[in-house]
Chain A
Amino acid sequence: MDVGAIFQAAFALVVGLDPGFLGIVFLSLRVTLTAVLIAALIGLPLGAALALARFPGRAAIIVCLNALMGLPPVVAGLAVFLLLSRSGPLGPLGLLFTPTAMIIAQVILVLPIVIALTRQVIEDLWSEYRDHLRSVGLDGLRAIPTLLFDGRFALATALLAGFGRASAEVGAVLIVGGNIAGYTRTMTTAITLETSKGDLPLALGLGLVLLSLTLMINAIAFGASRIGARYAG
């Protein structure tokens, strides 16, 4: 097949809304969105608490979290694999090679990003707001809801960064999901497989969807920062 024909076939897949193709796209979105949601629920309050709290070892935690932002996905995948494998501590749950396992792995990848960026955003905001918030009686952890709300635009960007990382990675979901057709096959693992098999139209079609997804995320992030700038003055 020449390149033109491959592109044509890929477009046909995307436009034709092929059920198998759509299944892969939806599973990918489901796994990644769930992972980002869970990471946000844990990471936003935790990051804010880390921004406000002062305790021994805080600096070490911050350095570790920043380092974890660059955690190789395959390593995260391996860790979850060991945890969930039949002889592992969580083996009896039978989660290995399920979408749930992929969500767990992606939460581990996204969480450090959310916590680290939240900490930065909230710490900056706190240094600006501290006097006023303490004056009206919001000190320490009681200030967190206000700070999270007022940091909403910057924090949305942090969540989108997490979404970007999770949707693009292949190593972790491949290891713990197993790339089972129709069950744990995501866009990235499908591209890996189809490329090595030589089914380039499918790989390319999924690649196009991934690309436009990335484009969309960046457009949203840009919009959020623009709206934020309006409120931030």
Chain B
Amino acid sequence: MARIDLVDLAHSYSGNDAPPDSFALKPVTMTWRQGGAYALLGPSGCGKTTLLNLISGIVTPSRGKILFNGSDITPLSTQKRNIAQVFQFPVIYDTMTVGENLAFPLKNRGVPKAEIVARVKRIAELLDLAPYLNRKATRLTADAKQKISLGRGLVRSDVAAILFDEPLTVIDPELKWQLRSKLKALHRELDLTMIYVTHDQTEALTFADTVVVMHDGRVVQSGTPAELFDKPAHTFVGYFIGSPGMNIVPAHVDGREARIDGHIIGLHRNYGVLPSGAKIEIGVRPEFVDIAPPASGLLSATIERIDDLGRIRFARVRVGDSKFAARVPPGFSVPDNMAGLVFDPAHVHVYADSRLVEGVA
């Protein structure tokens, strides 16, 4: 049980003297609550696995500190940290039975035999592995093997946090849901801090109560799934989360007005002072842009195609040089390819150099 603090933590695989831009993980300071369910979300190569390996101690940071409950554990080896980690591919010890696999971490730590038996029994029941305790672990399916790797972490009573490194990659789709809800249930039951690395937004948003989005070695936003959806702090979060992603178009912003392609869109807040020389863009999710018949007050667009997602339809349109995705209201049909766009001003955000600008109400 622990709160984990990262203090100015950074890492470069080519040493501390490497140019700051080449760092796999740029300096980050943040806190992971005791008992939180976190997802580390980002595309491949964004530094999320590096961050995970720094916390578990597999990688030693070039810079900064890691605190567990306030005490500095940066120099401690993986063995001495109370951390469990589940890897992308199930790691099981081939020659051992399921029971021996689960007992392995306790045996290595010299736990008394009676206690080992009791812990293994409890964890096996928790993970529905009890019927297989005497089977050779190699004979099981991938999801059962992944449960064993998880069980080896849970079996230790001292574990502060469990780290997952894309643990469902090799699991069949229908089993993914089962295993993920199992993880949620375990999280509720055991009050453990869980950090879950993934590049799949559905996985992240369904698992976690706090999603940490990473991009190019930086933590760009951390918040609840709703916050990430409603108010992306960075244009990257905008288009990485949501399907289709956020519309981000260059615009001219002045006070409560944004100008795109000569057309004026009303804004909910006042953006009086914008950083000069910055690249100004507005971002709006396709869910908050509606297609309407062309009219004089609307931004006019050319429809390129319409994607029917079953319950909802999105139109891909072109306005001048920029592309938009917009919602097609039910029952709407356009005579020709011309349409107007209706914006919901409350959900139009302004970005300066890719970062969200908070306007004044």
Q: Do A and B bind each other?
A: no
A residues near B (Cβ < 8 Å) are none
Chain B: residues with CB nearer than 8 A to chain A? Answer: none
